Amino acid sequence: MSVTTAKGFRAAGVKAGLKSSGNHDLALVVNDGPLQIGAAVFTTNRCQANPILWSKEVIKDSQVQAIVLNSGGANCYTGPEGFQTTHATAELVAEKLGLNAGDVLVCSTGLIGEQLPREKVLAGVAAASEELSNDGGELASLAIMTTDSVPKRAEFKSPAGWSIGGMAKGAGMLAPGLATMLVVITTDAVIDAEFADEALRSATRVTFDRLDSDGCMSTNDQVTLMVSGASGLEPAPEDFRAALIFVCHNLAQQLLSDAEGSSHDIAIRVTNAATEADAVEVGRSVARNNLFKAAIYGNDPNWGRILAAVGVTSAAFDPYNIDVSINGISVSRFGQPDQSRDLVDLTAREVQIEISLNAGDAEATIYTNDLTHEYVEENSAYSS
């Protein structure tokens, strides 16, 4: 299962020498058609890496023939020399495979502010183009890992015969509207460019965009959907939408579970909000509160820190009519304690926070992690 689950795609993952570990670090995914449609969602960080600047141009005509991704360097804040590296990478993919460079997406991930060794990248592209295969998705998913401890792959196979496959990487800088996350999703369903774009945007909005592991947004994020149409089957739009959300949600949960140094996966469900935007704002504020996150690490149901985080938002609510429960125990209602916090058991990895704003009927769930010694260790001891 991976990007080669869907028919019409070949992939490869090779060791180009970009990672100090010597592991796989360059992936290539090629769409053999008959359709060669692409859609992509990019980081909203205004400080964007060179491959993002390049890929945004490529995607404009919704025509994508291949995507090349490297770990071991973000190629961000590397100036014109860095942009030329991205350009040369796309050019070499095109040359090796008989494609147009303008239809080749590029993604990079790793340390910001260091030049990628261009010759190594190009040698890796040459090697990968030789190794493309219909079951190369597994190696490709290894090649995009950075601090990930496991590769992330997902697939959906419809009974009708069309399918969606995907791979993702990301373990830190997981935040609003994507974050140090590279995702490639492929499908052999027959859909048009407009629907591909719209389905991808609506799926990422309720999946990857609701992950907020550490509040830090990457400069390099890109979620790409490639459409080969090789199944010859045209799914009902709602079926395709649901399947795409399934795959995105599955990959997002894998990112959450592998977030750097985390010991709890926390789902913050905000209910009875006036609007979905309010629910997202409240959930995100709690998800970013270091005191709350440290308390969960310590298995401490310190619900005051939840309310303190709710209180800094502009969402509609009466501050003294908010209900908070932790793992099913109602700890606060009507501005005062309800059941004893001692009843809350936080020993399991999964934590369910529910916050009812009593201001409407909208809801949203934000997924985050706790703040642990291991998070501090991983992010202080290594440049990444």
Give residues 228-287 in contact with a second copy (rule: CB under 8 A): none
Q: Which of 34, 57, 61, 81 binds a second copy (CB under 8 A)?
A: 81
32 makes contact with a second copy (CB under 8 A): no
Pick the binder of a second copy from 99, 196, 217, 259 (CB under 8 A): 217
Residue 130 or 377 with smaller CB distance to a second copy: 377
Told to check if 319 binds a second copy by CB under 8 A, we report yes
| 19 lies in the binding site for a second copy (CB under 8 A) | no
* x/- map, 162-181, a second copy, by CB under 8 A: ----------xx--x-----
* Active-site residue, selected from the candidate residues 86, 146, 147, 180: 180
Q: Does 377 bind a second copy (CB under 8 A)?
A: yes
Token pair for 154: 């997902």
310 binds a second copy (CB under 8 A): yes
Least gap, CB of 89 to a second copy (angstroms): 18
Active site residue 180: yes
Tell me: does residue 20 bind a second copy (CB under 8 A): no
**Binding flag, residue 349, a second copy (CB under 8 A):** no
Which residues are known catalytic residues? 180
Residues near a second copy (CB under 8 A) = 44-48, 74, 76-82, 111-115, 172-173, 176, 214-219, 288-291, 294-295, 297-298, 300, 302-305, 307-313, 319-320, 322, 331-332, 334-337, 341, 371-373, 375-377, 379-381, 383
